[in-house]
Structure 1
Amino acid sequence: MRSILITGCNRGLGLGLVQHLTQLPNPPENIFATCRDVSKAKALQEISRTKNNVHIIEVDLTDFNSYDRVVNEVNAKVGNEGLNVLFNNAGMATKFTRLGMVKMEQLTETYLVNTVVPIMFTKAFLPLLKKAADGKKGMGIHRAAVINMSSIIGSIAENSMGGFYPYRCSKTALNAATKSMSIDLEDDGILVACMHPGWVKTDMGGTSAPLDIDKSVGDMIKLLPTLTEKHNGCFLQHDGKILPW
Protein backbone atom coordinates (compact mmCIF):
# COMPACT_ATOMS: atom_id res chain seq x y z
CA MET A 1 0.00 0.00 0.00
CA ARG A 2 1.39 3.32 -1.08
CA SER A 3 -1.16 5.54 0.66
CA ILE A 4 -3.63 5.41 3.54
CA LEU A 5 -5.99 7.91 5.12
CA ILE A 6 -7.01 7.37 8.74
CA THR A 7 -9.66 9.47 10.46
CA GLY A 8 -9.59 10.38 14.16
CA CYS A 9 -5.83 10.37 14.75
CA ASN A 10 -5.42 12.81 17.61
CA ARG A 11 -5.37 9.96 20.17
CA GLY A 12 -6.24 6.33 20.83
CA LEU A 13 -6.39 3.79 18.02
CA GLY A 14 -6.05 6.35 15.24
CA LEU A 15 -2.83 7.73 16.69
CA GLY A 16 -1.63 4.18 17.32
CA LEU A 17 -2.24 3.22 13.69
CA VAL A 18 -0.18 6.17 12.49
CA GLN A 19 2.65 5.35 14.90
CA HIS A 20 2.81 1.69 13.89
CA LEU A 21 2.61 2.42 10.16
CA THR A 22 5.58 4.78 10.35
CA GLN A 23 7.61 2.05 12.06
CA LEU A 24 7.10 -0.55 9.31
CA PRO A 25 10.21 -1.60 7.33
CA ASN A 26 8.47 -0.28 4.22
CA PRO A 27 5.95 2.32 5.41
CA PRO A 28 3.37 3.86 3.08
CA GLU A 29 4.65 6.77 1.01
CA ASN A 30 1.73 8.88 2.25
CA ILE A 31 -0.10 8.58 5.55
CA PHE A 32 -2.96 11.07 5.87
CA ALA A 33 -4.14 11.58 9.44
CA THR A 34 -7.23 13.62 10.23
CA CYS A 35 -8.03 15.33 13.50
CA ARG A 36 -10.53 17.98 14.57
CA ASP A 37 -8.05 20.31 16.26
CA VAL A 38 -4.36 20.16 15.36
CA SER A 39 -3.42 22.30 18.36
CA LYS A 40 -4.64 19.51 20.67
CA ALA A 41 -2.95 16.70 18.73
CA LYS A 42 0.54 17.14 20.19
CA ALA A 43 1.69 13.54 19.72
CA LEU A 44 0.48 13.52 16.12
CA GLN A 45 2.29 16.80 15.46
CA GLU A 46 5.50 15.30 16.80
CA ILE A 47 5.22 12.33 14.45
CA SER A 48 4.63 14.57 11.44
CA ARG A 49 7.68 16.66 12.35
CA THR A 50 9.95 13.61 12.22
CA LYS A 51 8.21 11.65 9.45
CA ASN A 52 7.76 13.48 6.15
CA ASN A 53 5.27 10.87 4.90
CA VAL A 54 2.73 11.82 7.60
CA HIS A 55 0.33 14.57 6.58
CA ILE A 56 -2.08 16.01 9.15
CA ILE A 57 -5.45 17.17 7.85
CA GLU A 58 -7.54 19.26 10.23
CA VAL A 59 -11.24 18.63 9.65
CA ASP A 60 -14.49 18.34 11.55
CA LEU A 61 -15.96 15.29 9.87
CA THR A 62 -19.51 16.40 10.65
CA ASP A 63 -18.89 19.39 8.37
CA PHE A 64 -19.78 17.62 5.14
CA ASN A 65 -19.04 20.73 3.09
CA SER A 66 -15.35 20.33 3.99
CA TYR A 67 -14.97 16.96 2.27
CA ASP A 68 -14.06 18.39 -1.13
CA ARG A 69 -11.16 20.26 0.45
CA VAL A 70 -9.89 17.10 2.13
CA VAL A 71 -10.16 15.07 -1.07
CA ASN A 72 -8.26 17.78 -2.96
CA GLU A 73 -5.49 17.82 -0.33
CA VAL A 74 -5.05 14.07 -0.64
CA ASN A 75 -5.27 14.12 -4.43
CA ALA A 76 -2.52 16.74 -4.57
CA LYS A 77 -0.17 14.22 -2.91
CA VAL A 78 -1.21 10.92 -4.49
CA GLY A 79 -1.94 12.11 -8.03
CA ASN A 80 -2.67 9.37 -10.55
CA GLU A 81 -1.87 6.66 -8.02
CA GLY A 82 -5.08 7.36 -6.10
CA LEU A 83 -5.74 6.38 -2.47
CA ASN A 84 -5.14 2.74 -1.53
CA VAL A 85 -6.78 2.60 1.89
CA LEU A 86 -9.45 4.64 3.62
CA PHE A 87 -9.63 3.70 7.31
CA ASN A 88 -12.77 5.18 8.87
CA ASN A 89 -11.62 5.10 12.48
CA ALA A 90 -13.13 8.26 13.99
CA GLY A 91 -16.10 7.64 16.25
CA MET A 92 -17.76 8.41 19.54
CA ALA A 93 -19.25 6.39 22.37
CA THR A 94 -21.84 7.06 25.04
CA LYS A 95 -22.02 5.60 28.51
CA PHE A 96 -23.91 2.36 29.15
CA THR A 97 -27.50 3.42 28.48
CA ARG A 98 -30.62 1.50 29.48
CA LEU A 99 -33.85 2.16 27.63
CA GLY A 100 -35.32 4.26 30.42
CA MET A 101 -32.34 6.63 30.38
CA VAL A 102 -31.55 6.99 26.68
CA LYS A 103 -31.91 10.46 25.17
CA MET A 104 -32.83 11.36 21.62
CA GLU A 105 -29.81 13.65 21.32
CA GLN A 106 -27.47 10.76 22.19
CA LEU A 107 -28.99 8.59 19.48
CA THR A 108 -28.89 11.20 16.73
CA GLU A 109 -25.40 12.54 17.49
CA THR A 110 -23.84 9.08 17.78
CA TYR A 111 -25.53 7.87 14.59
CA LEU A 112 -24.31 10.98 12.76
CA VAL A 113 -20.68 10.49 13.81
CA ASN A 114 -20.46 6.70 13.72
CA THR A 115 -22.60 5.89 10.70
CA VAL A 116 -23.43 8.88 8.51
CA VAL A 117 -19.86 10.26 8.51
CA PRO A 118 -18.15 7.02 7.35
CA ILE A 119 -20.71 6.55 4.59
CA MET A 120 -20.44 10.10 3.27
CA PHE A 121 -16.66 10.25 3.68
CA THR A 122 -16.28 7.03 1.70
CA LYS A 123 -18.57 8.43 -0.99
CA ALA A 124 -16.36 11.53 -1.23
CA PHE A 125 -13.21 9.42 -1.69
CA LEU A 126 -14.62 7.01 -4.25
CA PRO A 127 -12.86 8.71 -7.19
CA LEU A 128 -9.44 8.34 -5.54
CA LEU A 129 -10.14 4.76 -4.42
CA LYS A 130 -11.28 3.81 -7.94
CA LYS A 131 -8.16 5.44 -9.37
CA ALA A 132 -5.98 3.29 -7.09
CA ALA A 133 -7.88 0.12 -8.00
CA ASP A 134 -7.89 0.70 -11.74
CA GLY A 135 -5.86 -1.73 -13.81
CA LYS A 136 -4.86 -4.02 -10.94
CA LYS A 137 -5.93 -7.56 -10.16
CA GLY A 138 -7.27 -9.20 -7.02
CA MET A 139 -8.54 -7.39 -3.95
CA GLY A 140 -6.62 -5.97 -1.04
CA ILE A 141 -4.70 -2.96 0.22
CA HIS A 142 -2.30 -3.22 -2.73
CA ARG A 143 -5.25 -2.09 -4.79
CA ALA A 144 -7.97 -0.27 -2.83
CA ALA A 145 -9.78 -0.93 0.43
CA VAL A 146 -12.18 0.71 2.85
CA ILE A 147 -11.90 -0.38 6.49
CA ASN A 148 -14.66 0.73 8.86
CA MET A 149 -13.81 0.60 12.56
CA SER A 150 -16.70 -1.20 14.18
CA SER A 151 -17.20 -3.01 17.50
CA ILE A 152 -18.43 -6.37 18.74
CA ILE A 153 -21.11 -4.30 20.48
CA GLY A 154 -22.59 -3.82 17.01
CA SER A 155 -23.08 -7.59 16.62
CA ILE A 156 -26.75 -8.54 16.97
CA ALA A 157 -25.91 -12.22 17.44
CA GLU A 158 -23.49 -11.45 20.29
CA ASN A 159 -25.78 -9.04 22.14
CA SER A 160 -26.32 -10.65 25.54
CA MET A 161 -26.22 -7.47 27.66
CA GLY A 162 -28.76 -5.10 26.15
CA GLY A 163 -28.37 -1.36 26.61
CA PHE A 164 -25.78 0.77 24.85
CA TYR A 165 -28.50 2.01 22.49
CA PRO A 166 -26.69 4.95 20.84
CA TYR A 167 -23.33 3.20 20.33
CA ARG A 168 -24.71 -0.28 19.66
CA CYS A 169 -27.26 0.84 17.07
CA SER A 170 -24.78 3.13 15.29
CA LYS A 171 -22.21 0.33 14.93
CA THR A 172 -24.83 -2.19 13.80
CA ALA A 173 -25.88 0.32 11.14
CA LEU A 174 -22.22 0.82 10.14
CA ASN A 175 -21.88 -2.95 9.74
CA ALA A 176 -24.90 -2.95 7.44
CA ALA A 177 -23.40 -0.08 5.45
CA THR A 178 -20.11 -1.98 5.18
CA LYS A 179 -21.86 -5.00 3.73
CA SER A 180 -23.67 -2.86 1.16
CA MET A 181 -20.46 -1.06 0.22
CA SER A 182 -18.72 -4.40 -0.30
CA ILE A 183 -21.38 -5.37 -2.83
CA ASP A 184 -21.60 -1.97 -4.53
CA LEU A 185 -17.82 -1.57 -4.93
CA GLU A 186 -16.85 -5.16 -5.75
CA ASP A 187 -16.89 -4.56 -9.50
CA ASP A 188 -14.51 -1.64 -8.98
CA GLY A 189 -12.05 -3.93 -7.19
CA ILE A 190 -12.42 -2.08 -3.88
CA LEU A 191 -12.40 -4.33 -0.82
CA VAL A 192 -14.64 -3.24 2.08
CA ALA A 193 -14.63 -4.74 5.58
CA CYS A 194 -15.38 -3.70 9.12
CA MET A 195 -13.01 -4.35 12.00
CA HIS A 196 -13.42 -4.85 15.74
CA PRO A 197 -10.24 -3.67 17.48
CA GLY A 198 -11.05 -5.58 20.66
CA TRP A 199 -11.81 -4.03 24.02
CA VAL A 200 -8.90 -1.61 24.24
CA LYS A 201 -7.56 0.68 26.94
CA THR A 202 -8.47 4.02 25.37
CA ASP A 203 -10.52 7.02 26.48
CA MET A 204 -13.46 5.21 24.91
CA GLY A 205 -12.66 1.71 26.17
CA GLY A 206 -11.67 2.64 29.72
CA THR A 207 -8.96 1.34 32.02
CA SER A 208 -10.57 -2.06 32.62
CA ALA A 209 -10.07 -3.16 29.02
CA PRO A 210 -7.84 -6.23 28.59
CA LEU A 211 -6.00 -5.01 25.46
CA ASP A 212 -3.57 -2.13 25.15
CA ILE A 213 -3.38 0.06 22.05
CA ASP A 214 -0.08 -1.41 20.86
CA LYS A 215 -1.43 -4.98 20.84
CA SER A 216 -4.68 -4.10 19.08
CA VAL A 217 -3.06 -1.84 16.51
CA GLY A 218 -0.16 -4.22 15.94
CA ASP A 219 -2.63 -7.00 15.15
CA MET A 220 -4.61 -4.81 12.74
CA ILE A 221 -1.48 -3.67 10.90
CA LYS A 222 -0.46 -7.33 10.46
CA LEU A 223 -3.98 -8.22 9.30
CA LEU A 224 -4.32 -5.53 6.63
CA PRO A 225 -1.86 -7.03 4.08
CA THR A 226 -3.52 -10.45 4.39
CA LEU A 227 -6.96 -9.24 3.29
CA THR A 228 -8.17 -10.73 -0.01
CA GLU A 229 -11.41 -11.31 -1.90
CA LYS A 230 -12.57 -13.75 0.77
CA HIS A 231 -12.60 -10.95 3.35
CA ASN A 232 -14.73 -8.60 1.27
CA GLY A 233 -17.87 -7.74 3.22
CA CYS A 234 -16.67 -9.44 6.41
CA PHE A 235 -16.80 -8.42 10.07
CA LEU A 236 -13.26 -9.04 11.33
CA GLN A 237 -11.67 -9.03 14.75
CA HIS A 238 -8.23 -7.41 15.12
CA ASP A 239 -6.59 -10.84 14.98
CA GLY A 240 -8.45 -11.95 11.82
CA LYS A 241 -11.27 -13.94 13.43
CA ILE A 242 -14.57 -13.63 11.53
CA LEU A 243 -17.28 -12.24 13.81
CA PRO A 244 -21.03 -12.89 13.62
CA TRP A 245 -23.33 -10.12 12.45
Structure 2
Amino acid sequence: MSTVLITGANRGIGLALAGCFVEAGWDVHACCRHPEKATTLQSLGASVTIHRLDVTDMLQTENLARSLSGVPLDILVNNAGAKEPGSAFGKVPYEEWSRVFAVNTMAPLHLAERFVGHLETGSRKLIANISSRMGSIGDNDSGGSYVYRSSKAALNMVTRSLSIDLADRGISAIALHPGWVRTKMGGSNAKLETDVSANSLKELMLNLRPEDNGRLLNYDGEHIPW
Protein backbone atom coordinates (compact mmCIF):
# COMPACT_ATOMS: atom_id res chain seq x y z
CA MET A 1 0.00 0.00 0.00
CA SER A 2 1.22 3.55 -0.76
CA THR A 3 2.34 5.67 2.17
CA VAL A 4 2.57 9.42 2.76
CA LEU A 5 3.96 11.42 5.67
CA ILE A 6 2.43 14.87 6.20
CA THR A 7 3.61 17.50 8.68
CA GLY A 8 1.23 20.07 10.14
CA ALA A 9 -1.61 17.62 9.55
CA ASN A 10 -3.94 18.69 12.34
CA ARG A 11 -5.65 21.55 10.49
CA GLY A 12 -5.99 23.48 7.25
CA ILE A 13 -4.32 22.14 4.12
CA GLY A 14 -2.44 19.42 6.00
CA LEU A 15 -5.65 17.99 7.46
CA ALA A 16 -7.40 18.20 4.09
CA LEU A 17 -4.47 16.44 2.41
CA ALA A 18 -4.60 13.67 5.00
CA GLY A 19 -8.28 13.20 4.21
CA CYS A 20 -7.64 13.14 0.46
CA PHE A 21 -4.99 10.45 0.75
CA VAL A 22 -7.16 8.38 3.09
CA GLU A 23 -9.96 8.50 0.49
CA ALA A 24 -7.46 7.36 -2.14
CA GLY A 25 -6.61 4.30 -0.02
CA TRP A 26 -3.22 5.40 1.25
CA ASP A 27 -1.61 4.85 4.62
CA VAL A 28 -1.04 8.27 6.20
CA HIS A 29 1.55 9.18 8.82
CA ALA A 30 0.17 12.47 10.13
CA CYS A 31 2.39 14.70 12.24
CA CYS A 32 1.38 17.56 14.53
CA ARG A 33 2.53 19.16 17.76
CA HIS A 34 -0.50 18.19 19.86
CA PRO A 35 -2.05 14.88 18.74
CA GLU A 36 -4.37 14.83 21.75
CA LYS A 37 -6.11 17.95 20.39
CA ALA A 38 -6.32 16.74 16.79
CA THR A 39 -9.82 15.30 17.07
CA THR A 40 -10.75 15.71 13.41
CA LEU A 41 -7.51 14.04 12.36
CA GLN A 42 -8.22 11.20 14.78
CA SER A 43 -11.62 10.68 13.15
CA LEU A 44 -10.14 9.91 9.72
CA GLY A 45 -9.80 6.22 10.56
CA ALA A 46 -7.37 3.39 11.08
CA SER A 47 -5.26 4.16 8.01
CA VAL A 48 -3.98 7.30 9.78
CA THR A 49 -1.16 7.02 12.29
CA ILE A 50 -0.67 10.23 14.26
CA HIS A 51 2.77 11.25 15.49
CA ARG A 52 3.75 14.02 17.86
CA LEU A 53 6.19 16.29 16.04
CA ASP A 54 7.38 19.85 16.39
CA VAL A 55 9.27 20.20 13.10
CA THR A 56 11.73 22.64 14.68
CA ASP A 57 12.77 20.00 17.22
CA MET A 58 15.49 18.14 15.33
CA LEU A 59 15.74 15.41 17.97
CA GLN A 60 12.01 14.69 17.62
CA THR A 61 12.42 14.43 13.85
CA GLU A 62 15.36 12.06 14.21
CA ASN A 63 13.46 9.90 16.71
CA LEU A 64 10.44 9.75 14.41
CA ALA A 65 12.58 8.66 11.46
CA ARG A 66 14.16 6.01 13.65
CA SER A 67 10.79 4.75 14.87
CA LEU A 68 9.65 4.36 11.25
CA SER A 69 12.81 2.55 10.22
CA GLY A 70 12.02 0.01 7.53
CA VAL A 71 8.77 1.74 6.51
CA PRO A 72 8.84 2.64 2.78
CA LEU A 73 7.65 6.19 2.16
CA ASP A 74 6.23 7.22 -1.20
CA ILE A 75 5.68 10.92 -0.55
CA LEU A 76 6.97 13.30 2.12
CA VAL A 77 4.77 16.39 2.35
CA ASN A 78 6.44 19.24 4.23
CA ASN A 79 3.30 21.21 5.01
CA ALA A 80 3.91 22.69 8.47
CA GLY A 81 4.32 26.43 8.11
CA ALA A 82 4.54 29.69 10.02
CA LYS A 83 3.77 33.30 9.21
CA GLU A 84 4.52 36.48 11.13
CA PRO A 85 1.69 38.94 11.94
CA GLY A 86 3.03 41.37 9.34
CA SER A 87 6.34 42.68 8.07
CA ALA A 88 5.90 45.92 6.15
CA PHE A 89 8.96 48.07 5.56
CA GLY A 90 9.90 49.82 8.81
CA LYS A 91 7.80 47.40 10.85
CA VAL A 92 9.66 44.14 10.40
CA PRO A 93 9.43 41.86 13.48
CA TYR A 94 13.07 40.79 13.41
CA GLU A 95 12.63 38.64 16.50
CA GLU A 96 10.17 36.48 14.52
CA TRP A 97 12.41 35.94 11.52
CA SER A 98 14.45 33.05 12.94
CA ARG A 99 11.29 31.22 14.10
CA VAL A 100 9.61 31.50 10.69
CA PHE A 101 12.80 30.39 8.93
CA ALA A 102 13.16 27.43 11.28
CA VAL A 103 9.65 26.19 10.44
CA ASN A 104 9.39 27.11 6.75
CA THR A 105 12.93 26.53 5.50
CA MET A 106 15.18 24.59 7.85
CA ALA A 107 12.65 21.97 8.98
CA PRO A 108 11.72 20.75 5.46
CA LEU A 109 15.38 20.21 4.62
CA HIS A 110 16.01 18.37 7.88
CA LEU A 111 13.00 16.12 7.31
CA ALA A 112 14.25 15.36 3.80
CA GLU A 113 17.65 14.41 5.23
CA ARG A 114 16.17 12.17 7.89
CA PHE A 115 13.63 10.43 5.64
CA VAL A 116 15.68 10.06 2.46
CA GLY A 117 16.24 6.38 3.20
CA HIS A 118 12.51 5.77 3.65
CA LEU A 119 11.84 7.51 0.32
CA GLU A 120 14.45 5.42 -1.47
CA THR A 121 12.51 2.26 -0.59
CA GLY A 122 9.16 3.75 -1.63
CA SER A 123 7.72 3.66 -5.14
CA ARG A 124 6.97 7.33 -5.91
CA LYS A 125 10.00 8.84 -4.16
CA LEU A 126 8.68 12.41 -3.93
CA ILE A 127 9.36 15.32 -1.60
CA ALA A 128 6.57 17.91 -1.84
CA ASN A 129 7.28 21.19 -0.06
CA ILE A 130 4.24 23.38 0.48
CA SER A 131 5.59 26.77 -0.52
CA SER A 132 3.87 29.93 -1.75
CA ARG A 133 3.65 32.17 -4.77
CA MET A 134 4.78 34.86 -2.31
CA GLY A 135 8.20 33.21 -2.38
CA SER A 136 8.57 33.83 -6.10
CA ILE A 137 10.93 36.71 -6.85
CA GLY A 138 9.72 36.92 -10.44
CA ASP A 139 6.09 37.13 -9.32
CA ASN A 140 6.61 39.73 -6.59
CA ASP A 141 4.91 42.92 -7.74
CA SER A 142 3.49 44.07 -4.40
CA GLY A 143 6.46 44.06 -1.99
CA GLY A 144 6.21 43.77 1.78
CA SER A 145 5.92 40.53 3.80
CA TYR A 146 9.69 40.41 4.11
CA VAL A 147 9.83 37.59 6.63
CA TYR A 148 7.34 35.21 5.03
CA ARG A 149 8.43 35.92 1.45
CA SER A 150 12.10 35.35 2.22
CA SER A 151 11.43 32.09 4.10
CA LYS A 152 9.46 30.68 1.16
CA ALA A 153 11.99 31.94 -1.40
CA ALA A 154 14.63 30.10 0.60
CA LEU A 155 12.43 26.98 0.68
CA ASN A 156 12.16 27.17 -3.09
CA MET A 157 15.95 27.17 -3.33
CA VAL A 158 16.11 24.20 -0.94
CA THR A 159 13.63 22.39 -3.18
CA ARG A 160 15.64 23.10 -6.30
CA SER A 161 18.84 21.82 -4.68
CA LEU A 162 17.09 18.69 -3.42
CA SER A 163 15.86 17.94 -6.93
CA ILE A 164 19.48 17.99 -8.12
CA ASP A 165 21.20 16.34 -5.16
CA LEU A 166 18.75 13.43 -4.89
CA ALA A 167 18.28 12.78 -8.60
CA ASP A 168 20.75 9.88 -8.61
CA ARG A 169 18.65 8.21 -5.89
CA GLY A 170 15.53 8.51 -8.04
CA ILE A 171 13.94 11.06 -5.67
CA SER A 172 12.10 14.11 -7.02
CA ALA A 173 11.37 17.36 -5.19
CA ILE A 174 8.77 20.00 -5.96
CA ALA A 175 7.52 23.20 -4.34
CA LEU A 176 3.75 23.70 -4.39
CA HIS A 177 1.66 26.85 -4.08
CA PRO A 178 -1.70 25.76 -2.63
CA GLY A 179 -3.49 28.95 -3.69
CA TRP A 180 -5.04 31.52 -1.39
CA VAL A 181 -6.83 29.08 0.86
CA ARG A 182 -9.41 29.76 3.55
CA THR A 183 -7.38 28.56 6.54
CA LYS A 184 -6.18 30.10 9.80
CA MET A 185 -3.09 31.33 7.95
CA GLY A 186 -4.87 32.32 4.74
CA GLY A 187 -7.70 34.16 6.49
CA SER A 188 -11.45 34.26 6.00
CA ASN A 189 -11.25 36.39 2.85
CA ALA A 190 -9.39 33.70 0.90
CA LYS A 191 -11.21 32.43 -2.17
CA LEU A 192 -10.25 28.75 -2.18
CA GLU A 193 -11.67 26.00 0.03
CA THR A 194 -9.15 23.66 1.66
CA ASP A 195 -10.61 20.50 0.14
CA VAL A 196 -10.40 21.94 -3.39
CA SER A 197 -6.78 22.96 -2.91
CA ALA A 198 -5.81 19.70 -1.21
CA ASN A 199 -7.37 17.48 -3.86
CA SER A 200 -5.65 19.47 -6.62
CA LEU A 201 -2.31 19.20 -4.81
CA LYS A 202 -2.77 15.45 -4.35
CA GLU A 203 -3.47 15.01 -8.06
CA LEU A 204 -0.35 17.01 -8.92
CA MET A 205 1.75 14.76 -6.69
CA LEU A 206 0.29 11.60 -8.16
CA ASN A 207 0.66 12.75 -11.78
CA LEU A 208 4.03 14.50 -11.60
CA ARG A 209 5.76 14.92 -14.95
CA PRO A 210 9.54 14.47 -15.23
CA GLU A 211 9.92 18.12 -16.29
CA ASP A 212 8.19 19.28 -13.08
CA ASN A 213 11.04 18.04 -10.87
CA GLY A 214 12.61 21.00 -9.09
CA ARG A 215 9.87 23.45 -10.06
CA LEU A 216 7.49 25.73 -8.16
CA LEU A 217 3.97 24.75 -9.24
CA ASN A 218 0.59 26.31 -8.61
CA TYR A 219 -2.13 24.00 -7.31
CA ASP A 220 -3.62 23.88 -10.81
CA GLY A 221 -0.31 22.78 -12.35
CA GLU A 222 0.80 26.21 -13.61
CA HIS A 223 4.59 26.65 -13.57
CA ILE A 224 5.40 29.68 -11.38
CA PRO A 225 8.70 31.50 -12.09
CA TRP A 226 11.29 31.55 -9.34
Give the TM-score category using the shorter length: over 0.9
Shift of 1:119: 0.6
Shift of 1:103: 2.0
After TM superposition, the score normalised by the length of structure 2 is 0.96
Q: How does 1:18-97 map to 2 (within 5 A)?
A: 18-24=18-24, 27-28=25-26, 30-47=27-44, 51-75=45-69, 78=71, 82-97=72-87
Question: Residue in 1 aligned with 2:14?
Answer: 14
Q: State the 1:66 CA deviation.
A: 1.4
What is the DSSP-based 3-state SS (H/G/I as helix, E as strand, rest coil) of the residue aligned with 1:227? coil
| Residue 213 of structure 2, aligned match among 206, 219, 232 | 232
In the other structure, the counterpart of 2:184 is 203
Contact kept, 8 Å, 1:16 with 1:213, in 2: the verdict is yes
> Which secondary structure does the structure 2 equivalent of 1:236 belong to?
strand
For residues 132-158 of structure 1, what are the alpha-carbon distances to aligned partners after superposition, in whole Å with 9 as ceiling and x for unaligned?
2xxxxxxxxx43000000000000011
Instruction: Tell me if structure 1 keeps the 8 A contact 2:76–2:127.
Output: yes
Q: Distance in 1 between matches of 2:220 and 2:55?
A: 28
Opposite residue 39 of structure 1, the aligned amino acid is E
Write the distance in 2 (CA, Å) between the matches of 1:120 and 1:157.
27
1:112-191 pair list within 5 angstroms: 112-132=102-122, 142-191=123-172
Stretches of structure 1 lacking an aligned partner (at least 5 in a row):
133-141
Letter of the 2:100 partner, please give it: T
Runs of 4+ in 1 over 3 A off after TM superposition: none
Query: What are the ranges of 5 or more consecutive residues in structure 2 without an aligned counterpart?
Result: none
Q: Distance in 1 between matches of 2:124 and 2:109?
A: 20
Q: Secondary structure at the match of 2:51?
A: strand
Residues 32 and 74 of structure 1 are in contact (CA less than 8 Å); yes or no, is this contact kept in structure 2? no
8 Å contact kept, 1:102–1:165: yes
TM-superposed CA distance for 1:131, in Å, is 2.3
Q: Would you say the 8 A contact 1:182–1:192 is kept in 2?
A: yes
TM-score when scaled to structure 1? 0.89
Q: 1:68 offset after TM fit, Å?
A: 2.3
Determine the C-alpha separation between the residues in 2 that align with 1:204 and 1:31.
23
Identity %: 39
Kept in 1, the 8 Å contact 2:86–2:92? The answer is no
